[in-house]
């Protein structure tokens, strides 16, 4: 059987998350700063409470949870292409779903089934890096935002410094991959994570692609502590 290279065939990445879905929250809970970083990016998005928010590549809903405190009369629509991850999200947020405050849908982030100008805000955590075509994805997201709408791309993007790749290599292959493999029983998606970050865009390159997609007022914020060189939030408006 031919070995599947997830870097070359990113379409298969969401399905690989099915294999770790039941233990994903526990693994990220033990990852220092994981939820705190999502919370900070959601805060920087500057939600006012009445927005219709698209949480793209929502996984088990940890990014949705980060947005939830800021939504009073608005709604959050979580989208992911992993049935296993969405099953966990639907169980976790059963009360919010029943109240009409949240919903979760199985969709391909590269071919979203929504009319143009459907959302006031988009939060995309750890998602752009997994897309087969960054430009196509960003152009689609621009169209889905209402005029004046806001977006936050939250992702591992290595600072443009000579040592950043070595730093990530030590963190990912020395800690993240073995640690999460033990917890989840599967190494494939975490090995892909390590490699995908090394091949992803630098913060400046993400900014350039957002400019090409017509986003305005772009800000780049590095997360604190040891995540500063490797994790960034990209904030912009339509």
Reported as a single tens digit per residue, the pLDDT across 52-99 is: 999 999 999 999 999 999 999 999 999 999 999 999 999 999 999 999
Please give the residue that has the higher pLDDT: either 43 or 5. 43
The dihedral sign for the CA sequence 154, 159, 163, 165: positive
Q: CA-CA distance, 108 to 110, in Å (whole number)?
A: 5
**Model confidence, pTM:** 0.92
pLDDT, tens digit (0-9, with 9 covering 90-100), for 8-30: 667 778 778 888 888 888 787 77
pLDDT at 1 over 50: no
Regarding predicted confidence, which is higher, 3 or 151? 151
Contact (CB, 8 A) for 142 and 214: yes
- Mean pLDDT score across all residues of the chain: 92
Highest mean pLDDT out of 13-27, 103-117, 182-196: 103-117
Quote the CA–CA distance of 88 and 93 in Å, as a whole number: 9
C-alpha separations of 136 from 81, 111, 144, 149, 203 in Å: 17, 10, 13, 19, 18
CA geometry: angle 43, 94, 46, nearest 5 deg = 10
| Record: fold of 33-158+201-237 | Rossmann fold (3.40.50)
pLDDT at site 51:
98
Give the mean pLDDT of 220-225: 93
* Predicted confidence band of residue 2 (pLDDT cuts 50, 70, 90): very low
Cβ-in-10-Å burial (0-12, 13-18, 19+) of 93 comes to buried
* pLDDT higher than threshold 50 for residue 3: no
Residue 54's nearest CA partner among 24, 29, 74 is: 74
Give the pLDDT score at 235: 98
218/29: higher pLDDT: 218
Say if residues 221 and 233 touch (Cβ distance below 8 Å).
yes
Assess whether pLDDT exceeds 50 at residue 4. Answer: no
For the residues 198-212, what does the mean pLDDT come to? 97
Contacts for 99 with CB less than 8 Å, ≥ 6 apart: none
E runs forming strands in the chain: 52-56, 75-80, 102-106, 119-125, 145-156, 216-222, 231-237
Q: Looking at the chain, how many residues does it have?
A: 238
Q: What is the mean pLDDT of residues 37-65?
A: 97
**How many percent of the chain have pLDDT more than 70?**
96
Residue 7 pLDDT grade (very low, low, confident, very high; cuts 50, 70, 90): low
CA nearest 124: which of 134, 114, 115? 134
Whether the per-residue pLDDT at 181 is higher than 70: the answer is yes
Q: What angle do CA 236, 148, 221 make, to 5 degrees?
A: 15
């Amino acid at each position: 059987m031919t070995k599947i290279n997830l870097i070359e065939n990113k379409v298969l990445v969401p399905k690989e998350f099915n294999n770790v879905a039941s233990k994903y929250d526990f693994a990220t809970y033990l990852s220092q700063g994981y939820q705190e970083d999502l919370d900070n990016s959601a805060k920087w998005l500057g939600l006012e409470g009445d927005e219709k928010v698209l949480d793209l590549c929502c996984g088990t809903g940890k990014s949705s949870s980060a947005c939830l405190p800021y939504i009073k009369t608005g709604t959050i629509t979580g989208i992911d292409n992993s049935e296993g991850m969405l099953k966990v999200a639907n169980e976790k947020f059963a009360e919010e779903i029943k109240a009409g405050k949240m919903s979760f849908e199985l969709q391909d982030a590269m071919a979203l089934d929504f009319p143009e100008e459907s959302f006031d805000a988009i939060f995309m955590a750890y998602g752009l890096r997994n897309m087969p075509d960054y430009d196509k994805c960003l152009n689609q997201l621009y169209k889905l935002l209402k005029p004046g709408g806001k977006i936050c791309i939250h992702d591992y993007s290595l600072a443009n410094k000579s040592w950043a790749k070595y730093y990530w290599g030590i963190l990912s292959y020395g800690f993240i991959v073995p640690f999460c493999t033990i917890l989840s029983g599967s190494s494939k998606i975490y090995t892909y994570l390590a490699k995908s970050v090394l091949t992803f865009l630098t913060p400046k390159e993400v900014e350039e692609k957002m400019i090409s997609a017509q986003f305005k007022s772009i800000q780049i914020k590095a997360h604190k502590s040891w995540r500063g060189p490797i994790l960034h939030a990209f904030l912009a408006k339509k």
